[in-house]
């Protein structure tokens, strides 16, 4: 048999497959019935057969030991070991974790030769042995595994680094290497010996950042630790406990083994060596307000910065504090110096006393009257009496009264502040809305419904001792905007805007950003006086109620309510087939004779021309206009004028002896008779269409012209005749 060699192709899965394949082939060869197999020692042995679920040997007592098991890498973080060995073999795992090998697990490889078992984590460097034994009693050579270190060392612990320091010291994992960097540049390194390290460096400025980390022998790197170079003088500076005018010692803390020196101004007071970080320098009493100066010097001679303290008034520092005292209080409590005694008086009447424990005191009392004054003072163990302090007894009901945030008619919650753990009660009238326990000094609870503006809500609190506060009253405020005002139609002839809105609200009217009017609504209606606005102008209206709530705006356009001007009508004659004139653009122009419409047309560019049938002279025609808004103008009536000349008259014969000329023509027309350019006669056609005009006798052969002219001034053609 050949020992399994690890193949680094395909990783764990390939190793496992090859190992299983190897052990399976071996298993098949070994169980060929009762076949004799010759081992590599040359000894003949009986084969091994499977009976049931166990392996048994038949024939010879000789056998073949299993191959060395394959074991997956084990690290200090491994909690489960994976093994491949001869199928059915007994696996034994031992460890020398605690000196000497001891069993840490065992089991049987499955039919594929696989076996895994959970173990506790092992220390790096621990040796683990794994063997496989078959049922014939043969055991493989042990597979030795060494636990690999994969755990990073702890971050180094670094001692303070000062500007006068030329070494960095601290603690780290033994045998690990510690590296120091300033701005990514390595400034030193050292190996940890017995968990300690020391790195030599150049002195650095105060505030310089130095970064350190450790790398163990296995190459695992710790997290980095960055520290700043400290001011040695500052770190060496001592602290000073309060110093009083009657103090016998100046005490405080400082670096062990340093020497602390004390001065009052330039006068030396004393010095001492610091033991266990604490110092004490004996002094005589000093005046209140005087300044004590101290500094420390370490073993290298470095002198710290100076620390100062003013001598305090012992009586003032000893004065106790007093917590609020109520008329219902059973105790006076507060803070004072531990082990001092606090005494309480009302006026000159002794009330009680108490020893201060852990900075607090409590003196039992009976209820005190509101406004009475309680006086306290403290006396320390040295017999020093503090100044007195006073407090007035406060009305518990008043202090317990809750605050209530404003409540609006659109608010669903009541909120406010009150004493922690007290219980809030809220009423509307006599109806209890709710109760609520106060947490963290605030409360909030939902009402059953919104309350209308003007409702009165009362709130009070009851504390854990049953004390009831004064009542806080809140009136529900109006936060609901009024409804949008209604607006009645606004014409271009309107001088007022009217509509409906919430009573008492102020109504504002605007054209763009210009206010055109305002008024206060009464009985739900309003009327705002305005100047007339042009047709099509947009007017916006909104309302603001007495609480200052503003409604949404309502916008309306000014409509045309002005009748167009009466159209002008040009002369219409009995020959006209159109009526023309001027009218408002866009308006429709109508022409009537009596009730009969002659025609209509729409005016354009301020003019119109309406086709009609010819009308008789003297006919009355009425013309009017209606604009797009249906406003109707007044009517313009014109009479058809006569523009038709009368027919030429007929004239009877005229002789040189005639003193009249007669003939026929248009009734009522004027007859005109001319000899050349000289008018020699004029007359009128009578109602029967005849005329007779006197003239002087004309010379024979004279040429006369006769024409007639109607009342409209139309002149007929001339009739020419010769005097016989």
Task: Quick: pLDDT tens for 81-108.
Answer: 999 999 999 999 999 977 789 999 999 9
pLDDT bucket at 371, cuts 50 / 70 / 90: very high
* Residue 33: pLDDT over 60: no
Instruction: Write the pLDDT tens digit of every residue in 495-507.
Output: 999 999 999 999 9
Q: By C-alpha distance, which of 283, 291, 295, 345 is closest to 320?
A: 345
On whether residue 441 sits in a domain, the answer given is yes
Mean pLDDT confidence for 6-21? 43
What average pLDDT does the chain have?
89
pLDDT bucket at 6, cuts 50 / 70 / 90: very low
Tokens 């139309």 sit on residue: 714
What is the Cα–Cα distance from 639 to 620, expressed in whole angstroms?
4
What is the Cα–Cα distance from 651 to 683, expressed in whole angstroms?
13
* Residue 24: pLDDT over 60: no
21 and 141 together in one domain: yes
- Look at residues 367, 394, 421 and tell me which one is the last residue of a structural domain: 394
Q: Return the CATH number at 424.
A: 2.60.40.10
* Residue 34: pLDDT over 60: no
216 and 245 together in one domain: no
Predicted model pTM: 0.47
Q: Residue 3 burial (CB < 10 Å; 0-12/13-18/19+)?
A: exposed
- Residues of the chain with pLDDT > 70: what percent? 91
403 and 372 together in one domain: no
Under a CB-based contact definition with an 8 Å cutoff, are residues 292 and 263 in contact? yes
Of 39-53, 345-359, 696-710, give the lowest mean pLDDT range.
39-53
pLDDT value of position 121: 92
Going from the C-alpha of 222 to that of each of 150, 176, 185, the distances in angstroms are 11, 10, 18
Token pair in block for residue 578: 């159109």
Of 36-45, 112-121, 342-351, 560-569, give the lowest mean pLDDT range.
36-45
**Range of 194's domain?**
157-230
On whether residue 572 sits in a domain, the answer given is no
* β-pair type (48-51, 472-475): unpaired
Number of domains in the chain: 8
pLDDT value of position 286: 87
* Residue 11: pLDDT over 60: no
Distance, CA of 611 to chain centre: 73
On whether residue 386 sits in a domain, the answer given is yes
What is the Cα–Cα distance from 296 to 635, expressed in whole angstroms?
119
Distance, CA of 42 to chain centre: 89
* Residue 346: pLDDT over 60: yes
What is the Cα–Cα distance from 150 to 120, expressed in whole angstroms?
15
User: What is the SS3 assignment for 176?
Assistant: coil
Q: Which residues pair with 259 in a beta bridge?
A: 273, 297
What is the Cα–Cα distance from 534 to 565, expressed in whole angstroms?
16
pLDDT bucket at 10, cuts 50 / 70 / 90: very low
* Residue 668: pLDDT over 60: yes
Of 56-70, 398-412, 427-441, 680-694, give the lowest mean pLDDT range.
56-70
* Residue 182: pLDDT over 80: yes
96 and 22 together in one domain: yes
- Residues of the chain with pLDDT > 90: what percent? 81
- Look at residues 208, 230, 252 and tell me which one is the last residue of a structural domain: 230
113 and 31 together in one domain: yes
Mean pLDDT confidence for 143-148? 96
On whether residue 205 sits in a domain, the answer given is yes
Going from the C-alpha of 663 to that of each of 648, 653, 657, 693, the distances in angstroms are 11, 9, 17, 9
Q: By C-alpha distance, which of 83, 61, 80 is closest to 72?
A: 83
On whether residue 568 sits in a domain, the answer given is no
Q: Return the CATH number at 528.
A: 2.60.40.3110
pLDDT value of position 368: 87
* Residue 44: pLDDT over 50: no
pLDDT value of position 36: 29
Phi, psi (rounded to 5 degrees) for 393 = -70, 130
183 and 90 together in one domain: no
Q: By C-alpha distance, which of 182, 178, 213, 210 is closest to 196?
A: 178
What is the Cα–Cα distance from 5 to 70, expressed in whole angstroms?
9
Phi, psi (rounded to 5 degrees) for 91 = -100, 130
592 and 517 together in one domain: no
Mean pLDDT confidence for 9-35? 43
125 and 161 together in one domain: no
On whether residue 503 sits in a domain, the answer given is yes
- Look at residues 251, 281, 312 and tell me which one is the last residue of a structural domain: 312
Tokens 């014409």 sit on residue: 491
Under a CB-based contact definition with an 8 Å cutoff, are residues 414 and 433 in contact? yes
88 and 129 together in one domain: yes
User: Computed over its alpha carbons, how large is the radius of gyration of the chain?
Assistant: 64
271 and 293 together in one domain: yes
- SS3 of 96-119: CCCCCCEEEEEEECCCCCEEEEEC
Mean pLDDT confidence for 659-669? 94
Token pair in block for residue 420: 């922690």
pLDDT bucket at 154, cuts 50 / 70 / 90: very high
The larger pLDDT score, comparing residue 354 to residue 55, is at: 354
On whether residue 562 sits in a domain, the answer given is no
pLDDT value of position 411: 87
Mean pLDDT confidence for 336-357? 96
On whether residue 490 sits in a domain, the answer given is no
Instruction: Write the pLDDT tens digit of every residue in 261-283.
Output: 999 988 999 999 999 999 999 99
Token pair in block for residue 23: 């052990």
Mean pLDDT confidence for 27-31? 42
Instruction: Write the pLDDT tens digit of every residue in 611-662.
Output: 999 999 999 999 999 999 899 999 999 999 988 899 999 999 999 999 999 9
99 and 122 together in one domain: yes
273 and 357 together in one domain: no
């Amino acid at each position: 048999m050949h020992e399994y060699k690890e193949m680094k192709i395909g990783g764990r899965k390939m190793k496992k497959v090859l190992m299983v394949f190897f052990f399976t082939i071996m298993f098949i060869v070994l169980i060929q019935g009762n076949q004799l197999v010759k081992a590599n020692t040359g000894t003949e042995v009986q084969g091994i057969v499977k009976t049931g679920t166990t392996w048994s040997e038949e024939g010879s007592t000789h056998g073949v030991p299993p191959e060395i098991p394959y074991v997956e890498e084990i690290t200090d973080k491994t909690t489960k070991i994976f093994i491949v060995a001869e199928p059915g073999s007994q696996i034994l795992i031992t460890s020398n974790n605690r000196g000497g090998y001891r069993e840490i697990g065992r089991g049987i490889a499955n039919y594929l030769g696989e076996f895994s078992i959970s173990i506790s984590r092992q220390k790096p460097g621990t040796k683990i042995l794994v063997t496989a034994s078959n049922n014939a009693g043969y055991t493989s050579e042990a597979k030795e595994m060494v636990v690999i270190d994969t755990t990073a060392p702890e971050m180094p612990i670094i001692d303070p680094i000062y500007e006068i320091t030329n070494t960095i010291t601290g603690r780290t994992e033994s045998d690990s290497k510690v590296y120091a960097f300033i701005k990514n540049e390595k400034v030193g390194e050292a190996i940890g010996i017995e968990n300690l390290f020391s790195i030599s460096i150049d002195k650095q400025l105060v505030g310089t950042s130095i970064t350190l980390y450790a790398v163990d022998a296995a190459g695992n790197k710790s997290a980095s630790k960055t520290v700043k170079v400290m001011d040695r003088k500052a770190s060496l500076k001592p602290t000073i406990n309060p110093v009083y005018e009657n103090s016998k010692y100046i005490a405080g803390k400082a670096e062990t083994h340093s020497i602390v020196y004390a001065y009052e101004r330039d006068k030396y007071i004393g010095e001492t060596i610091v033991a266990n970080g604490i110092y004490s320098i004996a002094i005589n009493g000093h005046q209140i307000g005087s300044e004590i100066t101290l500094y420390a010097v370490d073993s290298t001679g470095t002198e710290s910065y100076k620390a100062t303290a003013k001598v305090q008034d012992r009586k003032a520092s000893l004065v106790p504090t007093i917590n609020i005292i109520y008329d219902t209080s059973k105790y006076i409590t507060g803070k004072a110096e531990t082990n001092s005694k606090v005494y309480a008086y009302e006026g000159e009447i002794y009330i009680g006393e108490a020893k201060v424990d852990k900075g607090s005191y409590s003196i039992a009392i009976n209820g005190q009257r509101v406004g009475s004054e309680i006086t306290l003072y403290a006396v320390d163990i040295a017999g020093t009496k503090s100044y007195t302090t006073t407090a007035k007894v406060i009305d518990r009901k008043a202090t317990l009264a809750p605050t209530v945030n404003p409540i609006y008619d659109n608010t669903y919650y009541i909120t406010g502040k009150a004493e922690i753990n007290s219980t809030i009660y809220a009423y509307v009238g006599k109806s209890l809305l709710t109760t609520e326990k106060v947490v963290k000094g605030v409360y909030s609870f939902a009402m059953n419904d919104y309350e209308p503006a003007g409702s009165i809500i009362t709130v009070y609190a009851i504390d854990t001792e049953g004390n009831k506060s004064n009542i806080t009253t809140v009136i529900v405020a109006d936060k609901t905007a009024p409804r949008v005002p209604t607006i009645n139609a606004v014409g271009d002839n309107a001088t007022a805007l009217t509509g409906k809105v919430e009573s008492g609200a102020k109504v504002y009217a605007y054209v763009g950003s210009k206010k055109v009017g305002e008024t206060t609504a009464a009985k739900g209606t309003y009327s705002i006086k305005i100047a007339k606005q042009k047709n099509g102008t947009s007017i916006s209206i909104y309302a603001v109620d007495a609480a200052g709530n503003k409604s949404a705006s309502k916008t309306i356009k000014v409509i045309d309510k002005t009748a167009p001007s009466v159209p002008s009508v040009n002369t219409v004659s009995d020959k006209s087939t159109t009526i023309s004139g001027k009218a408002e653009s866009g308006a429709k122009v109508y022409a009537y004779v009596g009730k009969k419409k002659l025609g209509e047309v729409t005016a354009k560019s301020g003019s119109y021309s309406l086709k009609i049938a010819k009308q008789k002279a003297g006919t009355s025609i009425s013309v009017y206009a209606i604009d797009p808004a249906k406003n109707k103008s007044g009517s313009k009536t014109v009479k058809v004028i006569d523009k038709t000349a009368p027919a030429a008259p007929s004239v009877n014969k005229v002789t040189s002896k005639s003193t009249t000329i007669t003939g026929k023509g248009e009734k009522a027309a004027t007859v005109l008779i001319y000899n050349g350019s000289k008018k020699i006669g004029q007359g009128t056609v009578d109602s029967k269409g005849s005329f007779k005009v006197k003239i002087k006798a004309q010379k024979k052969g004279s040429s006369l012209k006769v024409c007639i002219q109607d009342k409209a001034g139309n002149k007929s053609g001339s009739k020419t005749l010769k005097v016989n």
